[in-house]
Chains A and B, each alone.
Chain A
């Protein structure tokens, strides 16, 4: 049974190595009801970390606890309270959004009446109500993204992990998604989200983690990061660029980064 008082996500000393370390002794905690944004340059290890949390990739070492459940020891129990939204929306072209949600509800063994109610409500709130009976094959990327998001939310997860959920969405759709996510956080659901749209992290996240070369190099609220990074500007972009370097993928040396992390955390 998931613990109600435990942190939504606890990652401890997580390691994953492909040809070189992708995630290197990473530890972080996400509290219940917290919106946590995980930022980092391309190839920093964000997606690898989240895929290990979701059980899509085997970790070399470390532990992951989801709502107090050891995700590596009891993955099925952990998956019951978890939702994963990949950056590439994976939906079935030959199913309609309603059929897709019916399928997802079946996977999570939800009572059918409640699932139908949730499906209608999610599709409406994401602006897909009028497309509920059209096959996804003809949908735009943004619409598919929203169908996939509805699938992630239908079983009422307590921890939602989203990898770039706003990519490909128009301004209106992005606002719909942000509104739905904010509503969930207000209800006590925890969200961990990666994004390259720093403005979204700046506006929505309770806390922000910055990852580089597989390590958490900075963590805190926007104010904490602003105060402690002594950035020249005061936007998250300034802070982010100072920490990870102004060019994509050119992170500062790990030693410096660790020092900064210790300072902030």
Chain B
């Protein structure tokens, strides 16, 4: 056995990948300090315990002795399974694309005599298992509480979750392979990225749009109204509710889900592993498009240093579709408020109360991403630092670039809201600008020089800034909604925002490394 383990590339790759995954995970939570890792583990345990309490609060009143699997329950369970599938599929597409394009150690592995298809099998299995584990962390309190209240049949929830993660990962592999085949390696990375974002958001947004169109409400839960389901949805015995039956422990459904997902995943993984080496070689050969032409005789524009910096920031963002797709994912979530605007156009001034927080939240998140790109993501920090310009000009140029981009997004939405309610438009625009300013401040306080290509890992670099950015956006969104509704409770989110920013300022790194030390 020892001999087998020593010789098998599959085992060696598994060991190597698991070790790297564990180190990355522990580094993300601990910053390489064992004390912090323990603190993170304690924090996760507390979160897990609290989630059980929340699960009990949600399920306690439903899972009584009189509980039965009615149409509404089956709809909730089936929709949850479908929602998990789309989310996991989105995540899997990103991970699979990364497996093909990430250069990290592929030069070493591909130039070694080790079989590269084994590496793909290992990596893809880890994607499926990670996706299952992360989902289980969130969902398991509900499954555990359901088991405690209604019996062991709910244990099948874990099996269904595993089946969903295997199906999503297999689907991610097949979609990425299809993209490689149809549009080639040059464009697959970008298109897979956009597709992943759309797939991840589509189901959620689709439900919201249907809720708006049928009920005039932005709440997705409106769709689970028993009267609506009785009228539009099939009966409880329908195949459509098969996922719901599987979660609730119906043996046939569970076995079907598990077997079909294992077969599907195995087929996709084998297909992907056979093509892995060839695709990676093609992906590694992808270089920047070089031909541009047409500007040889153009005169230089006379920019001031500030103008040159802003121009450069905007040009770099616009020219990087991958980064644009990453940052503009937030814009997808503006679709429901846009539909809401369209549906209630000129009719309900109150609609702005519902729309404002969504817009503010999306703008806050968008500004956070953009601010990281312009403030921390600098590919030539030495050049900027050795230019004869003040630190203020340097920072102001970066802040102005974010504000220009954010304003371009806020303006049309605010104008549309203004047709319904001037007050609503003013509140939406102000809230969005405050959310953007808060995100920019957090990025300024926690800035750490990095390459723009590390955009995806920015949240790993500082958990504090990630948390502060999210908390500030949520506070702004809540405050905007309450101010738009004229509620005096708006003071609470305002105080929360001030506290978040105050705490962020006080815990910011004291010496900001604007340029890299040798």
Contact = CB atoms under 8 A, between A and B. Distances in A.
A90 B383 contact: yes
Most chain A CB neighbours (cut-off 10 Å) among B294, B299, B381, B518: B518
Contacts of B291: 134
Given A132-B296, A135-B288, A138-B289, A108 B518 contact: no
A96 B292 contact: yes
A103 B304 contact: no
Interface in B290-325: 290-296, 299-305, 307-309, 311-312, 315-316, 319-320
B388 A108 contact: yes
B287 interface: yes
Interface in A143-186: 148, 151
Interface residues of A, number: 49
B308 A54 contact: no
B70 interface: no
Given A90-B381, A113-B300, A106 B308 contact: yes
Interface in B368-405: 379-390
Contacts of B302: 106, 111-112
Interface in B465-518: 515, 517-518
Interface in B262-308: 287-296, 299-305, 307-308
Main SS at interface, chain B: loop
B383 A104 contact: yes
A200 interface: no
A151 B291 CA distance: 21
Nearest to A134: B290
A109 interface: yes
Contacts of B290: 131, 134-135, 137-138
Interface stretch (A32-40, A75-83, A206-214, A242-250): A75-83
Given A103-B311, A116-B300, A77 B517 contact: no
B348 to A, nearest CB: 44
Interface string A74-111: 00110110111010001111111011001111111101
A190 interface: no
Interface residues of B, number: 41
A80 B388 contact: yes
A184 B311 CA distance: 31
Nearest to B306: A106
A55 B307 CA distance: 23
Given A95-B316, A112-B301, A112-B302, A133 B294 contact: yes
Interface string B56-84: 00000000000000000000000000000
Given A93-B288, A106-B307, A138-B287, A133 B380 contact: no
Contacts of A99: 295, 315
A107 B379 contact: no
A95 B300 contact: no
A137 B388 contact: no
Contact of A115 (B300, B381, B387, B390): B300
Contacts of B305: 106-109
A131 B288 CA distance: 13
A135 B289 contact: yes
A109 B295 contact: no
A228 interface: no
B287 A106 contact: no
Contact of B390 (A48, A76, A116, A131): A76
Given A84-B382, A90-B379, A108 B387 contact: yes
11 contacts: A51-B518, A55-B386, A90-B379, A91-B380, A93-B379, A94-B319, A99-B315, A106-B302, A138-B288, A148-B383, A151-B383
5 closest A-B pairs by beta carbon, nearest first, are A106-B308, A137-B288, A106-B303, A90-B380, A134-B290
Given A93-B379, A94-B320, A109-B304, 10 more contacts: A47-B518, A55-B386, A91-B380, A92-B380, A94-B288, A102-B303, A107-B389, A108-B305, A138-B288, A148-B383
